[in-house]
Amino acid sequence: MTDTSVTLPTEPTSQNLETLSTTFVPEQLVRQMIVILDFGSQYSELIARRIRETQVYSEVLSYRTTAQQLQQLNPQGIILSGGPNSVYDQGAPLCDPEIWHLGIPILGVCYGMQLMVQQLGGEVTRAERAEYGKAALYIDDPTDLLTNVEEGSTMWMSHGDSCQNLPHEFATLAHTENTPCAAIAHHEKKLYGVQFHPEVVHSVDGLALIRNFVYHICDCEPTWTTAAFVEETIREIRAKVGKKRVLLALSGGVDSSTLAFLLHEAIGDQLTCMFIDQGFMRKGEPERLMKLFGDEFHIPVEYVNARERFLARLEGITDPEEKRRRIGHEFIRVFEEESKRLGPFDYLAQGTLYPDVIESADTNVDPKTGERVAVKIKSHHNVGGLPKDLCFKLVEPLRKLFKDEVRKVGRSIGLPEEIVRRHPFPGPGLAIRIIGEVTAERLNILRDADFVVRQEINQQGIYHDFWQAFAVLLPVRSVGVMGDQRTYAHPIVLRFISSEDGMTADWSRVPYDLLEIISNRIVNEVKGVNRVVYDITSKPPGTIEWE
């Protein structure tokens, strides 16, 4: 694969920090890849993950990517995602029409199929009957793209438009009851389209179709494996960092912990880990983190106790965005002071993941050359945006990985399950699980309540049944009765979430007896609480966190 990262100067300067991002991409593993052009689909990232499940590398790029840029990347195949628009709308997103003549296999999904039809001379109109949800797929040509896709298998539809007339030499591969052209192909040019979404779990044989495209049509080989990624990444880190020093802001989550293990394996004592305790961690977590890394992993960590500083910065603050801003700003100040004390360092390591790269994709295009460059520094949930006078180059070995891939890497290099499968925890920590002002008293109340939740689901062996399970403290009080006496105390909200990736989520159907146990323990053991409620809001319309 062509190296599209920025060329690094010999020495970093305060003026060019934003152009100093260096990524360690195992080039041998990504020479064969599938590119997804994103037209605004909520499933674009999911398509990329499904491709990765076939052990073939994939990248999501803007639909504005030109045919010339694609030719330089030299992908084995291209997938056009779905999108919310109609291809005949004024201002609808269009791809470079030259991509049809690159000789690279292309698969259009939903909107991507309709765009293929329209740009190649066919006709797309409003469908007589829109089709949403599950539909049985009836196969007209069981070869090629639809090999091993069973007759009548369920596929997930989500469209209000239909392809009325196909371009010249295109053939129909499958149909549904409402859609005459549910799958199409120009076999000679290796152009394919499907009106449904094979990437979602509701499409029963969707992964079989994706495998057909990746392996049989694009002739890819399964080189994107965890073992190969670890081996190649360690080799490239050693080659590029050399004998220089690297600083990592450690949070104890799976991303930064995996990164710590990977870097320590690669460069040993050249790595310095710094843990800034802002006072918003869960009960016992700072102590557990220091013990794990120091005594069990033998990776030294510099502990910085900044609890009083952070709490003082939040005095009187109730707005959640202002909380985040102040926490991020204070983190920068502490980080800057401590890095100067421990330094000098040549590199700063960050646990940037691929979803972060996707979200900033449009900003990673050079407006003059159109080339993709790694220029955007992630506002990491701990670093929170770095001052430009910090002279670091960035080390981001995980920036090509999805969360599930990071967990696989962590597990493969010896990270314990308690970290690999730890529930996601927000960077500002408990500060955004306290609605309203954050005080020492409220932090103690929430820590104790959250500890009860975690202890109970661990004891019952169901911790990993949830994407997240936590407590929220409300800034109100309600009347209660305890021991024949009137109480006026806080309510605790329990939030148990089921999800695959956190992008969408549903509330978990927790057994009533478990809720009863947790509620009884909290009101009896946590001073200042006399009521427990359960949040049954999905995402959307709600978010997983309350702030």
Q: Which of 45, 199, 545, 547 does the annotation list as catalytic?
A: 199
- The angle at the Cα of 493, spanning 446 to 436, to the nearest 5 degrees, equals 60
Cβ atoms < 10 Å from Cβ of 395: 29
Distance CA 282, CA 272 (A): 24
Distance CA 256, CA 250 (A): 6
Peptide bond into 26 cis (omega under 30): no
Q: Which of 197, 264, 380, 490 does the annotation list as catalytic?
A: 197
Let me know if 391 is a catalytic residue.
no
Number of alpha carbons in the 13 Å side-chain half-sphere of residue 152 = 0
Single-letter code of the amino acid located at 209: L
Task: Give the CA distances from residue 121 to residues 55, 85, 96, 97, 227, in Å, rounded to whole numbers and listed in that order.
Answer: 35, 19, 15, 12, 46
Instruction: Tell me the two tokens of residue 524.
Output: 């009896």
Task: Give the CA distances from residue 508 to residues 379, 505, 537, in Å, rounded to whole numbers and listed in that order.
Answer: 31, 9, 10
Q: Are 257 and 422 in contact (CB under 8 A)?
A: no
Give me the torsion for CA of 312, 316, 318, 319, rounded to 10°: -80
Distance CA 212, CA 203 (A): 15
Beta bridge partners of 58: 34
Distance CA 335, CA 483 (A): 48
- Strand 347-349 relative to strand 393-395, pairing: parallel
Let me know if 197 is a catalytic residue.
yes
CB neighbour burial string for 238-262, b if at least 16 within 10 angstroms, e if fewer: eebbeeebbbbbbbbbbbbbbbbbb
Q: Which of 110, 163, 218, 220 does the annotation list as catalytic?
A: 110
- CB contact set of 140 (below 8 Å; sequence gap of 6+): 172, 173, 174, 175
Beta bridge partners of 34: 58, 77
- CB contact set of 229 (below 8 Å; sequence gap of 6+): 26, 29, 401, 405, 409
State the catalytic residues: 110, 197, 199
